[in-house]
């Protein structure tokens, strides 16, 4: 009997110790508290599930509960949460990508090639990072729109709106500095164009550009500076400002829906963080990661063009999509009579004004009501701004005012030398050696491989549209083992004179995925 008592108390002592240890690991929640939480039991009083919020570092900033009206998905669409989620994904993938990458103009491009082909999961990391970056810029802008349309930027949250605009700037700088790092044509010329606007600032413009680039043109110093910005300066700035931003959100509480704020309906119900909101956020992590992974495995690929060539600006150079609106602006006619450069007004002053307006918004909009019916002007202005952004973005694309001559455009579409075009859609066998003329080409007779037929038909249509009366000749030659040369000759008559244009490229068997 005495023996049983001893073993029992030793086992009990062990269980007691384990319970105590686990309680400290879970910041005050005992194993029984946890089990009750898992089983869906309402908490006792005092509520033990608040303890982790008061005693642990990580949960301290998170609120202990949310009003139910604020948790409705169609109110905030979890956009702020999604920004934080993406920041974590970008941080982790970014750190991993730092391991095989050297910010040197001689090595960077080849390191990217190495990451995509030789490093296990390298391509996955790069694609995830790029996808996260594009999504991040889009989501923070949509988050800003949501906050605007629900009027949440009004007092007492005006300071936090300002911090948010700073975060938007930081996000854009992040994306722009990262854009340069692959050191391909896309990166090099996007940054050259962007930083040339700094040069247009009167008096101090040249100095600003020199500070940005560390040299008169984009080169090694610029790469190092952008790298430093991207991996340490901006992350530190992000941590500081995100900390302020999220702290204010929790302290001031997420703004209630406008109808609740105006007292038109009540909201007394509370949704606790542990376990309800935690489970929901865990679900969003799973869905978010799943969406990103599926995208990266199916349709999304981080682009990589040719190695940066300071002596060759490719046709149709564009800024990253979120800066296309600026590129559209600077295409507008120069109406300032030579006093100031058009690109200064359109590229620096106007965007600067837009930012100033964003910063000052809560202090311009004095209307204390957040209800849409009381804010018709604000809502109208918001919609107009979105439309304007869309139009300017379209104007930034090559479709507006940046088309080359018709023969160059046709050659670019069908047989480009520095990117993928129509010719690259054919399989290796479909690139049958021979000469093919749009004038004499017979389609529908099953004489040629299908891909080649489609190519010639489309080429003929394009020539009819852009170079009426013109003729295109495609010549495919076997140049070396596994290498074919593709020549495109265009002939047309203009003003009584005959014109010709030629472009050729080489295709290696390994370039085609078949």
Partner 1 sequence: MSEETPAGAQKVTRREFLWYAWASSLALFMAGSGGATLAFAYPRFKEGEFGGKFYMGRVEDFEDGSVTPNRDGKFFLVRIGDEFKALYQVCTHLGCLVRQTDEGYACPCHGSKFAKDGRLVASPAPRDLDEFAVEIIDGEVWVDTGAKTKGQNRNV
Of residues 116 and 306, the one with the C-beta less far from partner 1: 116
Would you call 415 exposed, middle or buried from its count of C-beta atoms within 10 A (0-12, 13-18, 19+)? buried
The reply on whether position 496 binds partner 1 by CB under 8 A is no
**How near is the Cβ of 9 to partner 1 at its closest, in Å?**
14
Q: Give least dist CB 463 to partner 1, A.
A: 49
Which two structure tokens, joined as six digits, stand for 487? 């020549």
Pick the piece of the chain touching partner 1 (CB under 8 A) from 117-125, 167-175, 420-428, 440-448: 117-125
Binds partner 1 by CB under 8 A, chosen from 48, 122, 164, 178 = 122
From the CB of 211, what's the least distance to partner 1, in Å? 35
Q: Does 96 bind partner 1 (CB under 8 A)?
A: yes
- How far lies 65's CA from each of 107, 140, 243, 450, in Å? 51, 25, 20, 63
Q: Output the smallest distance, CB 396 to partner 1, in A.
A: 36
Place of tokens 């002053």: 349
Please identify, among the stretches 114-122, 296-304, 372-380, 464-472, the one whose residues bind partner 1 according to the rule CB under 8 A: 114-122
Closest separation between CB of residue 65 and partner 1, Å?
20
Taking the complex as a whole, the smallest distance from the CB of residue 122 to partner 1 amounts, in Å, to: 7
Cis peptide before 182 (omega within 30 of 0): no
Q: Which is nearer to partner 1, 118 or 502 (CB)?
A: 118
Least distance CB 183 / partner 1 (angstroms): 22
Q: Is 118 in the site for partner 1 (CB under 8 A)?
A: yes
Distance (Å, whole) CA 343 – CA 435: 47
- For residues 178 and 230, is the Cβ–Cβ distance under 8 A? yes
Q: Do 470 and 500 contact (CB within 8 A), yes or no? A: no
Can you tell me the distance from the alpha carbon of 177 to that of 442, in angstroms, rounded to the nearest whole number? Answer: 51
Q: Which of 99, 312, 399, 404 binds partner 1 (CB under 8 A)?
A: 99
| Residue with Cβ nearer partner 1 (37 or 507) | 37
DSSP string, 243-306: HHHHHHHHHH-PPPPHHHHTTSS----EEEIIIIIHHHHHHHHHHHHHHHHHHHHTT------S
Tokens of 142: 């949509």
Q: Distance between CA 318 and CA 303 in Å, rounded?
A: 14
Among 17, 21, 110, 121, interactor with partner 1 by CB under 8 A: 121
Give 118 or 405: the residue with its C-beta nearer to partner 1.
118
- Our CB check for partner 1 shows the closer of 26 and 428 to be 26
119 is a contact residue toward partner 1 (CB under 8 A): yes
- Provide the minimum distance between the beta carbon of 134 and partner 1 in the complex, in angstroms, as a whole number: 22
Q: Say whether residue 120 binds partner 1 (CB under 8 A).
A: yes
Cα pseudo-dihedral 53, 54, 57, 60, rounded to 10: 50
**At its nearest, how many Å lie between partner 1 and the CB of residue 78?**
19
Site for partner 1 in 257-296 (CB under 8 A): 282
Strand 483-494 and strand 270-272: the pairing is unpaired
Give the whole-angstrom CA distance, residue 475 versus residue 180: 37
The gap between the terminal CA atoms of the chain, to the nearest Å, is: 79
Stretch that binds partner 1, among 118-126, 316-324, 356-364, 491-499 (CB under 8 A): 118-126
Size of the site for partner 1 (CB under 8 A): 14
Q: Which is nearer to partner 1, 282 or 377 (CB)?
A: 282
Positions in 29-68 near partner 1 (CB under 8 A): 32, 35, 38-40
Alpha carbon 406 to chain centroid, angstroms: 32
Query: Cα-flanking dihedrals φ and ψ of residue 469, to 5°?
Result: 85, 0
Q: Interface with partner 1 by CB under 8 A: which residues?
A: 32, 35, 38-40, 96, 99, 118-122, 125, 282
């Amino acid at each position: 009997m005495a023996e049983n008592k001893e073993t029992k108390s030793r086992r009990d002592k062990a269980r007691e110790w384990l319970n105590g240890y686990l309680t400290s690991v879970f910041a005050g929640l005992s194993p029984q508290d946890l089990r009750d939480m898992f089983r869906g039991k309402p908490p006792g009083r005092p509520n033990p599930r608040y303890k982790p919020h008061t005693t642990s570092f990580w949960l301290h900033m998170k609120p202990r509960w949310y009003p139910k009206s604020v948790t409705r998905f169609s109110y905030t669409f979890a956009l702020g949460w999604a920004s934080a989620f993406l920041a974590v994904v970008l941080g982790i993938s970014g750190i991993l990508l730092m391991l095989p990458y050297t910010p040197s103009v001689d090595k960077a491009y080849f390191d990217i090639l190495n990451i995509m082909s030789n490093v296990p999961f390298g391509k996955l990391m790069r694609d995830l990072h790029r996808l996260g970056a594009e999504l991040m810029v889009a989501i923070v802008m949509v988050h800003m729109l949501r906050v605007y349309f629900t009027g949440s930027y009004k007092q007492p949250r005006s300071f936090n709106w300002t911090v948010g605009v700073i975060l938007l700037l930081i996000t854009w700088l992040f994306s722009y500095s990262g854009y340069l790092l692959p050191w391909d044509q896309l990166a090099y010329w996007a940054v050259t164009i962007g930083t040339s606007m700094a040069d247009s600032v009167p008096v101090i413009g040249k100095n600003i550009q020199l500070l940005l680039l560390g040299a008169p043109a984009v080169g090694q110093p610029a790469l190092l500076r952008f790298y430093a910005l991207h991996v340490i300066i901006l992350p530190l700035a992000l941590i500081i400002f995100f900390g302020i931003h999220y702290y204010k959100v929790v302290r001031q509480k997420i703004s209630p829906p406008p109808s609740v704020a105006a007292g038109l309906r009540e909201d007394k119900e509370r949704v606790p963080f542990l376990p309800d909101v935690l489970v929901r956020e865990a679900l969003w992590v799973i869905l978010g990661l799943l969406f990103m992974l599926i995208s990266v495995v199916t349709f999304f690929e981080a682009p990589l063009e040719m190695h940066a060539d300071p002596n060759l600006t490719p046709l149709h150079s564009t800024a990253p999509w979120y800066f296309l609106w600026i590129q559209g602006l600077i295409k507008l006619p120069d109406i300032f009579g030579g006093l100031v450069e058009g690109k200064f007004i359109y590229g620096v002053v106007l965007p600067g004004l837009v930012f100033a307006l964003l910063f000052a918004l809560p202090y311009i909009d004095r209307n204390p009501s957040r209800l849409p019916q009381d804010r018709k002007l604000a809502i109208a202005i918001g919609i107009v701004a979105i439309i304007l952004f869309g139009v300017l973005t379209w104007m930034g694309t090559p479709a507006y005012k940046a088309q080359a001559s018709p023969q160059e455009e046709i050659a670019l579409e069908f047989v480009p030398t520095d990117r993928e075009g129509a010719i690259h859609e054919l399989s290796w066998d479909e690139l049958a050696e021979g000469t093919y003329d749009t004038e004499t080409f017979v389609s529908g007779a099953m004489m040629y491989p299908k891909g080649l037929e489609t190519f010639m038909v489309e080429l003929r249509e394009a020539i009819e549209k852009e170079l009426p009366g013109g003729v295109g000749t495609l010549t495919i030659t076997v140049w070396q083992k596994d290498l074919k040369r593709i020549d495109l000759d265009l002939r047309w008559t203009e003003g009584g004179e005959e014109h010709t244009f030629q472009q050729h490229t080489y295709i290696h068997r390994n370039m085609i995925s078949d």
